[in-house]
Structure 1
C-alpha cells in the first residue's frame, strides 16, 4: 500500500480581526483549507519537533496537512503550505502525539474502517500499518499507566488496542459496546495516565492499565471527551449534552437541541484555568467555565463545526484555539492578555443567583398560602398551610395494556389536587423529562407515574408537583428527590414456584449474613426488608423487565452463590456487592452453559466467515486482473478501428462489472456479519471478566485474549468458569 502526497496551491489568510460574539478571545486569523472536513477528525501536531501543523480528515478519504511555517512562495517547490495524504479507506478517527521512544516529534495516527496507520509526516514515511478487525472508531496517543513508551490507543468494536511505534500490539482489553471517544488523563492523580473511554451504551469507563476502575452512566452515546488538569474531564453526548466531571463527581451539564461535534480544554480568558470549549453542529462555538458551566466566550463560524484543536500556531510562544468547520474554514483565537481585559466576576455570583431564585419561589409560595391578606375574607381557593405531598415507590408487574415498571405514587394529605407532575431523570425516557398533566375531569389528590428503567443502575429522580385547589388559579410547587435503587425492577418471588436457574456464580465472601442482607435491602425495591433467620440467607427474585429469575444465597461459612441464567446480571450484582463491601479483589467460579454454547457458535461462525472472506478476496483479485486485460483489448480494438470486437470486449467488461458489484455486496454482508460476531465474542469476554473484581478481572481479560488468539475454545470455557487458565 502506498500513500502519495498531492500538493495544492497556497491559501489566502485573513488576520487581525477583532473580538467576536462578545467573548474574551480575539479572532487573530482565518484561512480556508478548500476541503470538506469530517466531524471529529481534527488535530494539531509538531511533526518536525518545533512547528505546529493542522491535520484534518477529509470526506474524500484524504488527510489535509496545513503547515503555516511553510509560506507559499518562500518555501521550495516540494514544500507547500498545504498537502494531502491519500488514505486507502474511509477515515473514522485521527490523532497526533509523540509516538517514538525519544518523543521529540509527533506522529499522525489515522483510524480507518479495518486498519490503523501511524505516519511520519516530516519524513513522509509510514511508522506502521496494522489491520484492525474491530475497526478504529477513536484513537488517542500518549502514555498509559506504567508503559515505558507512548502508545497509539485504538477503540473499536467493543475492544481496545494499543500499539507502540513499531506496530507491536502491547495492550488489549474489552469494553461494553462500540467505542466512540478516548481521552488520557491522570484520573486518580497517582502520576500515571488512565484511559477514559466513551461508548455507545451510554457509559464512561476509566481503565487503569487493562482493567476498569470506575464507570459512569450518562443518557446517550458519549461521542467526545476532553481531558483537563487535576482529574477533570469534559464530555459530549449524541443528544446534545455537554458537561464536566471531576473524577466521579459531575460538576455541571447543559443540554442543547444541537449536537456537540467536538469538545476541548482551553484557557480562553487567560486566567490560568481551562474552560470547556464546544463546537456545535449549527456552527456555534462556546466556552464554559469548567467549574460552573457559565458561558465566557461564544462565536459562530457559519457552518457545522468539524473539530477543535490548540497549539502555538503563529510561533509566538502562546497557544491559539483553532476551530474548523466542515467546509474547511479555520479560525484562530488567542487568549493572550485577555485576563487583564476580562470583566471582574463577583466570587459569590452563583450564590446571589441562587438566592434570587429562592426568593422568587418563596414569594410565590407566600402568595399561594396567604392570598391577598390574612383577614377573614381570605381569597377563596388558597392552599392550606399544612399541605404536604406524600410519595411511595413500588414495583408494578404490569397489565395487559401497560408493561411492568416502577410506580411512583404521589398524594396530598388533604383535599388539594395535583395539577401537573414533572419528573426529571437520566436514561429512563427520551429528553430526560416526563410530564403528567391529567385532564380537568381526571384531576385528583393522587397521581401515579410509571417509569421503566432500562438498566440496573441507581437513578436519582427529581420530581416537581404543582398542587392547588379546585377552581383556583393558585398553585404551589413541591420539589423532592427520590433515588431508585440499582435493582429496582426486581420483585421477591417464591422459590418453589419455578425451577431454579441452571447458571450460577459462586465465591467466598468474608462478611456476615447481616451485611449481605443490608446490601439486598438497599439495592432492591422491596415491600419489606429481608431479614436473616438462622445460619443461612436466601432471597429469590424475578426481573419484571425480562422475567429472568435470580437467587442469592449465602451460608454461615461465607460461601455466596448468585444463581441465574443471565451472566451479565450476575456480574452486575457481584460488582455492586463488591463495591458495597469495599472488596478490592474477588475471585468467582461460575458456569453459564447457554453463554458457553453461544460462544462456541460465535467462534465457529467467525472462523467460517474469515475463510469465506479470504475466498471472496481471491475471486475479486482475479476479476480485477481480468478487468485490466479486457480494457487493454478493447482499447487495442478501438485503435485499429475494429469496432465489432471492441463492442464485444466492452460487453464482456459490463458483465464482469456486474459480477464485481454483486461480489462487493456479498463481501460487505460477510464483513458486517463478521463484525457482529466479533462484537458478541468481546461482549461475552467482558461479561466473564465482570464476574470478577480487581486483579482477577484483569487476569480473565488477558487469559481470554490468549485463548482467542490460539482458537482454544476449551481453554476459553475453562477461563470463563474458573477465572484461571
Structure 2
C-alpha cells in the first residue's frame, strides 16, 4: 500500500473483469538529468518539435514570464502575463508554440521566427487542447472563464461555446466509444463536462475542483482532483479511484500497453495499470514538480519531469530488470495473509459454540433477527432533512459511521452518543444539502448493550435522491410556500408516461403520495429544505393544451430539473418557453454596457501605450544627458520621468479595473446563456448558444433576451 494513499478507500474499482491482462513486467527507469537554469512556472512545460525533421525538445515558461527552450540561449519575451502553454503540429512537419495569456492567445513559429496569429480572448486562457473534435476540423481549443474558444491553424475562430464555470483543464477523448472524440473539461465547481461538438453531452459531479484530465483509451479518461483523488471514468461510471495526501501535477497514458503515468506535485512518479490503478513501478524527483511532459513515440515512451527550480529528470518505461519483485513470492504472502484471517474467524466461531448458556446470557447477546432500518425523514416544521437510523428489538446504537462523497467534510461522518448510557435504538442525523447531486450513503451501525464488550456491525446503503432538498408540501405547511415568479413551459412528451416514476427517483417523498402525480392534471407544490428553503417549487400539468409548467426562481436548479426529466424519460429534443424576469433584465443590462466598456478599454489601452512610449523616450533622453555630463537636463528629465511613470501606472490601473469589470460581465453573460440552454434538450439547447453568439458578434443584441426566453426557433 502506498503510504500516501488513504487506507479506508485505497481502491474503488468498477467491473474490470472483462479488461484484458496487460504485461506487468515493466518499470520506470531513470534515463538522464538536465537543467533549464531558470525557475519554472507551475503547469507550463511542453514537449515540441520546433524544426523540420528535428527532435523533441522541452519548452517551458520561467517565473520571469519568458518562454525558454532547452539548449537555446535566447528566450521569447511576452509582454502579457502567461497562464499556459501548448504545442500544436500546424507547421510543415514541425510544431508551433501556442501561448495563453490573461488577454489573448498567441501562436508562434520558432522555425520561421514569426507570429502565426494573435487573437484577443477577453477573459484570458487557462488551458489548451489540440486535435479533432467530433466532425469538426483540427483546431486549438482554449479554456477561459465560462467559455471555450476554438481557432484553426490560421487563427480563424471556428468554435465557441459556454460552460457553467471557469475551464481549468481539458482533453480530447472518445467519451462514448463511437469513434469520434469529445471535449472533456474540468472546472472549480466540481463538475466534469463532456461536449459533443458544441452540445453538452454529459455532466459528472465530483467532490472537489478538477485539476487534470487525460485521455486513456476509447470510452475512458482519467481525472484528478484538488483533494488528491485520481481515477478513471468509463462512460458515466467511475471505474476506480484512489485518494492520496498529495496533489497531481500531470497524468499521461500509454494506451498500447494499457498503462498510465501519474506525476505528483511533491515529486513522486507512478506507473499504474489504467484499468484498476494498481501501481507497477515508482520513482521520484528530489524537489517539487512544476509540470511534466510525455514523448510522442508510443513504442519508446519517455516522461520528462521538470521541477520548479528548473532541474529535470527523464524516465523511460521499459521491461523490468532481474532485480524486480518476484511476483510469485508476493502472491504467496497475500494468500498467507488470507489464510491467517480465515483461521482467526474460524477460531471465533469455535469459541462461541463452546460457551455455556449462562455465559451467553451474561454476554448480552443480540437476537439473530435484529435489523437496522435507514430512511430519510423530513421535519417540515424546521424544514430539515434527516437520516433516521433505527434498530429493532430496542437494541442500543453505540455508533454510526457514514461515508458519502461531498456531503460531509472529509467524506465521512461519525455519530457517537455523549456517553454510553445515553445510547438509544433510533437516532436522526441532519443532512444539509448544498448541491443537487445523487449520492450513495454507506452506513455502518454499531449495535450492542451498554454493558456488553462486543458490538455487532450492520451495513446499509441508501441512495440520496438528486433533488432531495425538495419535498411535497402538505396542506398544514402551506405557509412555507412562496409562489415563484420564474417558470418554464413545455409540451408533454409521449415518452413521459408516468410522472410519479421520475418523482419517486429524484425527490424525497412518501410512497403514499406518489399516486397523485399520475393524475391527468393538477398543481403539485414542493417545499424547499435548508439551506435554500426560500426557493419553492411547483409542477403544473394542464391537459387542455398538454403542457407541463415548472415554477421555480433558481434558473440553475431549473436547468438541472429539465435535464434530469429528459434523461429519465430519454427525451432527445425538447423546446420550452422560459420566464425569469430578473435574469433577463440582468442580461439586458450587461448587453447595454458591453459596447461602452469595449470603447473605454480601447481608449485606455491607447492612452496607456502613449504613456509607456513617453516614459521610454524620457528615459533615453535622461541617459543621453548623463552620457554627455549634462546633469541639469538629466535632473529635469528624471523629474518628468517620475511624473509620467505615475501617470502610466494610473492608466494601467484604470485599464485593469475596466478589464476586470468587462471580464466579470462577460462571464456572467456566458453563465446566463449556458443556464438558458440547459432549459432545452438536444438541438434547441445548442441553438441557444449559437444564435446568441451570432447576435452579439453582429451587434444585434436586442434579440438575445428573446432567444433566451422563447428559444432560437422563434427568430
TM-score (ref. length: structure 2): 0.87
Alignment of 1:86 with 2:77, yes or no, is: yes
Name which of structure 1's ranges 157-166 and 508-517 shifts more when overlaid on structure 2: 508-517
| Distance apart, 1:367 and its partner CA | 6.8
Distance 1:335 1:631, change over 3 A: closer
| Distance apart, 1:98 and its partner CA | 2.2
Does structure 1 retain, via aligned residues, the 8 Å contact 2:103–2:123? Answer: yes
Q: Which residue does 2:3 correspond to in 1? A: none
Alignment of 1:232 with 2:215, yes or no, is: no
**CA–CA distance in structure 2, aligned partners of residues 626 and 594 of structure 1:** 47
Matching residue within 283, 288, 305 for 2:272: 288
SS class of match (2:41): strand
Matching residue within 398, 420, 425 for 2:404: 425
Matching residue within 184, 199, 222 for 2:187: 199
Matching residue within 250, 262, 270 for 2:250: 262
| Distance apart, 1:83 and its partner CA | 5.5
SS class of match (2:662): helix
Does structure 2 retain, via aligned residues, the 8 Å contact 1:44–1:309? Answer: yes
How do 1:161-176 and structure 2 match up within 5 A?
A: 161-176=149-164
How do 1:204-215 and structure 2 match up within 5 A?
A: 204-215=192-203
| Distance apart, 1:111 and its partner CA | 1.3
Distance 1:82 1:645, change over 3 A: closer
| Distance apart, 1:266 and its partner CA | 3.0
Matching residue within 373, 382, 389 for 1:390: 373
Count of equivalent residues = 678
Distance 1:508 1:364, change over 3 A: farther
Unaligned runs of 5+ in 2: 1-24
**CA–CA distance in structure 2, aligned partners of residues 721 and 119 of structure 1:** 42
Q: Which residue does 2:570 correspond to in 1? A: 582
Alignment of 1:453 with 2:433, yes or no, is: yes
Does structure 2 retain, via aligned residues, the 8 Å contact 1:506–1:561? Answer: yes
Unaligned runs of 5+ in 1: 1-21, 67-79
**CA–CA distance in structure 2, aligned partners of residues 320 and 499 of structure 1:** 62
How do 1:471-482 and structure 2 match up within 5 A?
A: 471-482=451-462
Name which of structure 1's ranges 241-250 and 303-312 shifts more when overlaid on structure 2: 303-312
Does structure 1 retain, via aligned residues, the 8 Å contact 2:374–2:462? Answer: no
Matching residue within 29, 32, 35 for 2:32: 29
Does structure 2 retain, via aligned residues, the 8 Å contact 1:423–1:433? Answer: yes
Looking at secondary structure, tell me which structure has more helix per residue. 2
Distance 1:82 1:286, change over 3 A: farther
Does structure 1 retain, via aligned residues, the 8 Å contact 2:26–2:317? Answer: no
**CA–CA distance in structure 2, aligned partners of residues 716 and 368 of structure 1:** 77
Does structure 2 retain, via aligned residues, the 8 Å contact 1:266–1:310? Answer: no
**CA–CA distance in structure 2, aligned partners of residues 705 and 368 of structure 1:** 75
Q: Any idea what the Cα deviations from partners look like across 1:79-133, whole Å, max 9, x if unmatched? A: x556532222222122223236x7x433322211111112223333222111111
Distance 1:506 1:357, change over 3 A: farther
Does structure 2 retain, via aligned residues, the 8 Å contact 1:571–1:690? Answer: yes
SS class of match (1:25): strand
Name which of structure 1's ranges 254-263 and 370-379 shifts more when overlaid on structure 2: 370-379
Distance 1:291 1:405, change over 3 A: farther
Name which of structure 1's ranges 364-373 and 687-696 shifts more when overlaid on structure 2: 364-373
Q: Which residue does 2:88 correspond to in 1? A: 97
**CA–CA distance in structure 1, aligned partners of residues 354 and 122 of structure 2:** 73
Q: Any idea what the Cα deviations from partners look like across 1:320-374, whole Å, max 9, x if unmatched? A: 122222222222222233499876868x979x88994996799399679949735
**CA–CA distance in structure 2, aligned partners of residues 542 and 476 of structure 1:** 38
Distance 1:26 1:512, change over 3 A: closer
Q: Which residue does 1:550 correspond to in 2? A: 537
Does structure 1 retain, via aligned residues, the 8 Å contact 2:495–2:571? Answer: no
Matching residue within 635, 651, 657 for 1:647: 635
Distance 1:262 1:317, change over 3 A: closer
Alignment of 1:123 with 2:126, yes or no, is: no
**CA–CA distance in structure 1, aligned partners of residues 675 and 458 of structure 2:** 42
Does structure 1 retain, via aligned residues, the 8 Å contact 2:26–2:319? Answer: no
How do 1:533-682 and structure 2 match up within 5 A?
A: 534-544=519-529, 545-546=531-532, 547-556=534-543, 558-639=546-627, 641-682=629-670
Does structure 2 retain, via aligned residues, the 8 Å contact 1:417–1:470? Answer: yes
Q: Which residue does 1:276 correspond to in 2? A: 260
Distance 1:65 1:638, change over 3 A: closer
Distance 1:374 1:83, change over 3 A: farther
Does structure 1 retain, via aligned residues, the 8 Å contact 2:258–2:275? Answer: no
**CA–CA distance in structure 1, aligned partners of residues 472 and 662 of structure 2:** 41
How do 1:358-507 and structure 2 match up within 5 A?
A: 363=345, 370=352, 373=355, 375-378=357-360, 380-396=363-379, 399=382, 405-440=384-419, 442-493=422-473, 498=481, 500-507=483-490
Q: Which residue does 1:77 correspond to in 2? A: none
Name which of structure 1's ranges 198-207 and 184-193 shifts more when overlaid on structure 2: 184-193
| Distance apart, 1:415 and its partner CA | 4.0
Q: Any idea what the Cα deviations from partners look like across 1:570-629, whole Å, max 9, x if unmatched? A: 211111010011111111122221110011122233333323322322332232233234
| Distance apart, 1:524 and its partner CA | 0.6
SS class of match (2:435): coil
**CA–CA distance in structure 2, aligned partners of residues 353 and 714 of structure 1:** 72
**CA–CA distance in structure 2, aligned partners of residues 365 and 540 of structure 1:** 58
Q: Any idea what the Cα deviations from partners look like across 1:15-35, whole Å, max 9, x if unmatched? A: xxxxxxx98221111111112
TM-score (ref. length: structure 1): 0.86
Distance 1:534 1:25, change over 3 A: closer
